[in-house]
Structure 1
Amino acid sequence: MKYLFFHVMVLLFFWSCSRSSIKEGLSASYSLEIIDSVQVDYLGNFFLFDYSTDRKLYLGKGYHDNEFLLIDHSGVVKDTVLLRQDGPQAVGWANAVGFQDQFMTIFDPINGIVQMDDEGNIRKKIIIPGEYFFLNGYKGKPYFKLGKDIAYYRPERGKANWNNVSNLMEKSYQGTILEVLDTLSGEVRDAMPVPNSSKYHDGKFHGWSFPVVLKRGAFWILYFKGENQFYLFTEENGMLGEFKTVKLNVSNWVEEEGVVFENALKHAEINHGLKGGSILEIILMDKFILVAYKKGVSREELQNYNLQSKEGKDALSKINELFISVFDFNGLKITDFLAPKGIHLSNVVNSEGQWVVTKNQDYNGVEEDFHTLYLMELIED
């Protein structure tokens, strides 16, 4: 386990084009630069989920099922947490994963919110009252503190009628993003309704919305994967206040077509032959918000590629490029540029204020017997 201090190989891998070609868009006053890289003694790809400032540990999802890694700053895998599937320490599955109060915590659709120690033993549980289920998985923290209460992604209530998926989806669209639990009384309430400026509020079905919530102090962000905008919320006295819609304002964004809920199962068929634009990550730096997104590919462009072949997929990835937009915390857009290639994204920011991503070993087709973290900073030129 060792540090690699910004050496030539990192430069060759990361910047397949010059810095000047990366800084495209509204302004050339900022750019992402690799400050450092760290070798992790782990074979195969893994994905970063979170970072503990207090413990200075990264939390990653390992290559194997139900395997999570605790990694220190020097790249040492301090512990491997395996979620157990039977016995008194068994959990169902990790719907959302992150550090809470310095320990790995998951939202288990069966057991509620479960905090694990570093050996995979259950430290404590927060029971979610009533009967509920989830239609899909979520990314991000398993819960957020909201005043004296806790907020988490809202589950669907009651029993699921899988014979009427359209009705399930319509009810889900009409619900809020979060549910709030008073841990003393056990009462729950809804919070964070879908903003009325969102396409998921227009009465049509646009596929699963993949909502993601981020929080720093009293500052909250909501975004949906399939939109070219996000939403800023403020917290006052333990309640979420009004929201502000922040648009990416990018050209050539490919929008998927919405359908009436009765045709929800035909949504994928109707949108076959195009790839809609999507927000892949939002990263909260010290002073800036980074939005990683792809514009998508139109039907006219997509029909030129054979997606059954590796060559076709590689060619497609070159036209559906990854971009970074930079905003301040008031939602003012500052710049826009192409993202580095050959990385697995994360929204992890370490105690030094550096955005941490992982190397995509498949990008160059070479599997190494270690893994690499890249530590990046937004630099003002």
Structure 2
Amino acid sequence: MKNQLLLALATVLVLSACTSEAPKAPLSEQNLEFEIYDSLVVDYLGNVTLMDISPDGKTFLLIDQNTDSLLLADGDGQLIQTYMLAGEGPENYPKSRLGVGKFLNNDQFLIPTMGGLFVYDLKGRLNKRLEPDFAPQINVLMPYSEAHFLIGNRVYLHFPGRMNEEDLADMNFNQNATLLEVLDLETGKFEGQVNLPKESRFAQKDESINVIDFFPNLTAREDSIFIAFRNEPKLFGYQVNQLNSTPKTWDIPLEGFIENTSWEGPKDGSIDLRRFFFGSINDLYALNSGEFLINYQAGLSDEVAAEVMSVAGSDFNKIFKLGGEKNKGGYILFDLQNSSPIIKKPEVLGSINKVISRDEIWFSLDFANVEQDYTVIYKTRIISR
């Protein structure tokens, strides 16, 4: 009997050892890649990207970047609706979109613009127009980024411009204005929230901050909003019910990231192209795993940037083409401590359109290198090799 008990115990220990997972390597040592495992194919010829998916997963909201036409498709890629809502017209939104449109529910979607937020039903009929009580001051538009997030009955969005007259007069609004607007969908009231965090290096300067360096990337998860400025490798986290409290702050290890420490631009007021080739955080996504998916570029040294300018001369297209070829970076994961190496990406993939989770990341086609006579949006997940 005693031997039988010992044998049973040994069997349990062996099974336990076999079924227990080996400890994972730190994120900084993992080799990750995007794996394509599904796609949405739509019989439509154009430069199309996915903006959002309805909460029930049945309806896809897309946009043709060439025409600003909106498309609705079902999960099989069948077109449900196509309409042009941008431009002139009593129910149209102005073309200056702040970001992509998103579903409010299964029957309505919201388009954020310089003129306010426009709510449409699936037939393209305007249900509501929500306008701020101030004139927005926006120098940089990112129409294909995520500019707003819905949490409960409130919309959180980057909508700068709420400032005092004295701030507008001396152009110090970058430091004194609020970074976010919170819109109550029931009352239609906008409220300015979140000042420049004191933990940011941008808060250490008295003069105005160049908007290219300062542009904030937003993301949200559950009851929290996260911000990362374009030229600062830090992450700031706020709970939505404590937006004006001191944020949690994390340093993001980004290999070779070059920060701009030259605060003064050209004296003649011309565009300082050098600013476009410092390190940049271009996209930020909060994953339900607790990690963050970040798209960044490390930037160019002064010597390499000068070489690019010298070779390209005054040809803007050539400057950005050469600079882009030399500017290294890509997508990485950040777990609040470590960053992964660059995640490998199949050549057919373009840019991320929509992130649902680590196991559902939607990419557009790489239009620069692949031509199709139909629209395809790739569904991917992050795997470890």
TM-score category, normalised to shorter length: 0.7 to 0.9
Offset at residue 45 of structure 1 (A): 2.0
Q: Please list, as runs of the form range in 1=range in 2, the aligned pairs for 1:168-183 lying within 5 A after superposition.
A: 168=171, 170-182=172-184
CA distance 1:39–1:321, shift in 2 (3 Å): farther
Q: Match for 2:304: what amino acid? A: E
Q: Please list, as runs of the form range in 1=range in 2, the aligned pairs for 1:1-381 lying within 5 A after superposition.
A: 26-28=28-30, 30-93=32-95, 94-96=97-99, 97-102=101-106, 103-110=108-115, 112-128=116-132, 130-136=133-139, 137=141, 139-142=145-148, 144-145=150-151, 149-157=154-162, 167-168=170-171, 170-182=172-184, 188-203=190-205, 204=207, 205-208=209-212, 209-236=214-241, 241-259=245-263, 265=269, 268-269=271-272, 272=274, 275-287=277-289, 288-305=291-308, 306-307=311-312, 308=315, 316-328=323-335, 331-340=336-345, 341=347, 343-346=349-352, 348-350=354-356, 353-362=359-368, 364=369, 366-381=370-385
Aligned length: 346
Looking at secondary structure, tell me which structure has more helix per residue. 2
Q: Work out the CA distance in 2 between the residues paired with 1:173 and 1:264.
A: 23
List per-residue Cα deviations over 1:171-223 (Å, max 9, x = no partner). 13321111234566666532122222223323242334322322222122112
- Work out whether residues 162 and 178 of structure 2, in 8 Å CA contact, stay in contact via their aligned partners in 1: no
CA distance 1:100–1:160, shift in 2 (3 Å): farther
TM-score (norm 2): 0.75
Q: Work out the CA distance in 1 between the residues paired with 2:204 and 2:155.
A: 29
Q: Match for 1:207: what amino acid? A: V
Offset at residue 64 of structure 1 (A): 3.2
Gaps (5+ residues) in structure 1? 1-23
- Work out whether residues 31 and 343 of structure 2, in 8 Å CA contact, stay in contact via their aligned partners in 1: no
CA distance 1:46–1:119, shift in 2 (3 Å): same
Offset at residue 255 of structure 1 (A): 2.3
Offset at residue 339 of structure 1 (A): 4.2
Counterpart for residue 15 of structure 1 = none
| DSSP-derived class of the 1:133 partner | coil
Identical residues among aligned pairs (%): 21
- Work out whether residues 27 and 339 of structure 2, in 8 Å CA contact, stay in contact via their aligned partners in 1: no
Offset at residue 107 of structure 1 (A): 2.4
TM-score (norm 1): 0.76
Q: Work out the CA distance in 1 between the residues paired with 2:358 and 2:233.
A: 29
CA distance 1:258–1:315, shift in 2 (3 Å): closer
Structure 1 stretch 307-316 or stretch 96-105: which is displaced more? 307-316
| DSSP-derived class of the 1:200 partner | helix
| DSSP-derived class of the 1:176 partner | coil
- Work out whether residues 206 and 258 of structure 1, in 8 Å CA contact, stay in contact via their aligned partners in 2: no
Larger Rg: 2
Looking at secondary structure, tell me which structure has more strand per residue. 1
The CA RMSD measured in Å over matched residues stands at 3.7
- Work out whether residues 356 and 374 of structure 1, in 8 Å CA contact, stay in contact via their aligned partners in 2: yes
Counterpart for residue 17 of structure 2 = none
Offset at residue 296 of structure 1 (A): 1.2
Q: Work out the CA distance in 2 between the residues paired with 1:352 and 1:230.
A: 19
List per-residue Cα deviations over 1:19-68 (Å, max 9, x = no partner). xxxxx992125433222334332323223332323243333331334322
Offset at residue 101 of structure 1 (A): 2.2
Offset at residue 316 of structure 1 (A): 4.5
- Work out whether residues 52 and 61 of structure 2, in 8 Å CA contact, stay in contact via their aligned partners in 1: yes
- Work out whether residues 253 and 296 of structure 1, in 8 Å CA contact, stay in contact via their aligned partners in 2: yes
